[in-house]
Chain A
């Protein structure tokens, strides 16, 4: 089965790819939590330590992939036909773009519901706000944290598939800048607020695109990080952010 698929086959292929990507990502996330985070959590409560460990783990994974696949940009097979559905002004609305937007919205709704209503979701929110207190309420926070990582891995797997389908290239470090952009979007929306992250993501994307059309495409990343710095300076809690200071008594 070479080349782009259509109809039922396409849906089947996308689902299979999504399952594989989610499985790989979730496994990676699980291992990372065990190797790079849990040992630190036992020794220190410093959030900086976790951040540094995350950056180190990220470089490690990138370099492993560089050794295996080289440092060049690699092609990503075309999975679906990219038909132009209609135009809005001079903008094309293509099938793959629609897929990305719809998938993102569906994922956010599912995640929001899960975290908002399930027992694990309650555990996640309680642990995020006050880990010590959560422990005293009988929450097994080690379990909550590893499951949160796995949940993040599942989401990242879908994101990776959507990214590959859309841009049709990949590289050993393709996720690095994306991860930092995702962090920027989360800060913009407000760390700890899922809906804020979604809004932050859309806002950041629009700011980048319109900024690039004004200043030129080479300024795209600069614009994104200027946004990050400005948000941290002016409104560290983000658009819909929670007051982090409250949760640390």
Chain B
């Protein structure tokens, strides 16, 4: 198992505030890796650094040894990193299928001339893009909603659609930002199954998650952030019993009133 994503000495500042401080983190190929921590710990900031939305003030970010620093978001996407959002960001007026096809388009090679001339290569790409999109909708379990406007889907289905859309860019690394937020227990367990099947397709998964039962069940490894620093890392069982983690989540015993 090679290293897929590696962050070394990464620091991010917003004005005078240090959002992430001297962070070392690595995700191996084929892993399900969870990033947990209290609100404001810097988890989403890590996602934004990896995807090129923010640039780190210091440190290096590499994907299979290639630096991601200074790359624009669409370049990072093409290198094989996709993500979903904590607050859903679908193209609401487009159908579920079209949302996924936008992602698939990123991988296409033929351009406008091909479209106007109706070249066979272009049409083949369109057809395969559509097939891939349908396949991904089936994978996340919303195949029958393909033609519905994304904004008409239920909350849980919108989350699934975001995952399908992210997968359409053919990522090697998928970043999921609180995928089970707002889901009920049966939906949560279905989503865990989905995350596993995504990993089994060869996609490495890095997720931010608040629900501890989800984290402990599906993660291979877990890292805990607090105030932008990594305070623990390891197997779920070890992290759960780590005193620093318990302190971060519950407050130090000496603070108890």
Q: Which residues of A contact B (CB under 8 A)?
A: 118-120, 122-123, 125-126, 129-130, 132-140, 147, 242, 246-247, 249
Contacts and interface: CB of A to CB of B under 8 A. Distances in A.
A139 B87 contact: no
B51 interface: yes
Interface residues on B, range: 20 to 34
Contacts of A135: 72-74, 77
B89 A130 contact: yes
Contact of B169 (A122, A123, A138, A140): A138
B93 interface: yes
Interface stretch (B97-105, B193-201, B216-224, B239-247): B97-105
Nearest to B77: A138
A133 B151 contact: no
Interface in B56-91: 72-74, 77-78, 82-83, 87, 89, 91
B3 interface: no
B174 to A, nearest CB: 13
Contacts of A118: 115
Contact of A138 (B78, B98, B112): B78
A157 B117 CA distance: 22
Contacts of A125: 91, 93-94, 98
Given A119-B105, A122-B98, A138-B106, A133 B126 contact: no
A242 B89 contact: no
A134 B94 CA distance: 13
B165 interface: yes
B94 A137 contact: no
A24 to B, nearest CB: 20
The 4 closest A-B pairs by CB, nearest first: A138-B106, A138-B77, A126-B102, A133-B89
12 contacts: A119-B101, A122-B101, A126-B91, A129-B93, A134-B102, A136-B51, A136-B73, A136-B82, A137-B77, A137-B106, A138-B103, A139-B105
B108 interface: yes
Given A136-B51, A138-B169, A246-B151, A122 B105 contact: yes
A125 B101 CA distance: 12
A129 B102 contact: no
B115 A119 contact: yes
A129 B103 contact: no
B92 interface: yes
Contacts of B126: 119
Contacts of A119: 101, 105, 108, 115, 126, 129
Contacts of B107: 138
B102 A139 contact: yes
Contact of A120 (B73, B77, B112): B112
B20 to A, nearest CB: 20
A130 to B, nearest CB: 6
B151 A137 contact: no
A138 B91 contact: no
B87 A120 contact: no
Contacts of B78: 138
Scoring B51, B106, B107 by chain A CB atoms within 10 A of each residue's CB, the highest score goes to B106
A122 B77 CA distance: 18
A137 B103 contact: yes
Interface in B39-64: 51, 53
Nearest to A142: B74
A131 to B, nearest CB: 11
Contacts of A129: 91-94
